[in-house]
Structure 1
């Protein structure tokens, strides 16, 4: 997955989570997704970054 594809995948994660958590401000969703992205940014395998970000962000948004 190249950086452009990854950016589109992350944007899609933000959109899905914003819809799943409508009571949470979108800026907060974006912040959490960004933090999760940063935490995974140094990983050598990029294919599942969006899935891992979404999973971790959901956990944080539920709490």
Structure 2
């Protein structure tokens, strides 16, 4: 059985890094929260190939349109 956890963790870390670069005025905690929420949103996806892309897009959208 292959454990994909370390790979998934590194991909999520890369997403956080890219979003921190794109949104330098956003607190790191807000970026991490947006990524966590997006990750939870796609947690039950059957096909995982494109989930990191969807997580990044969802988190980016959350950061671009924050809830007041």
Same fold (TM over 0.5): yes
**Structure with the largest fraction of helix:** 1
Structure 1 residues not aligned, in runs of 5+: none
> Partner residue of 1:17?
19
Measured in 1, the distance between the counterparts of 2:47 and 2:15 equals 18
Structure 2 residues not aligned, in runs of 5+: none
For 1:40-59, what aligned pairs fall within 5 Å after superposition? 40-59=42-61
Moved over 4 A (4+): none
Q: TM-score scaled by structure 2?
A: 0.85
Q: TM-score scaled by structure 1?
A: 0.91
Measured in 2, the distance between the counterparts of 1:40 and 1:51 equals 11
> Partner residue of 1:34?
36
Q: State the secondary structure of the residue aligned to 1:22.
A: coil
**Count of residues in Structure 1 that have an aligned counterpart in Structure 2:** 63
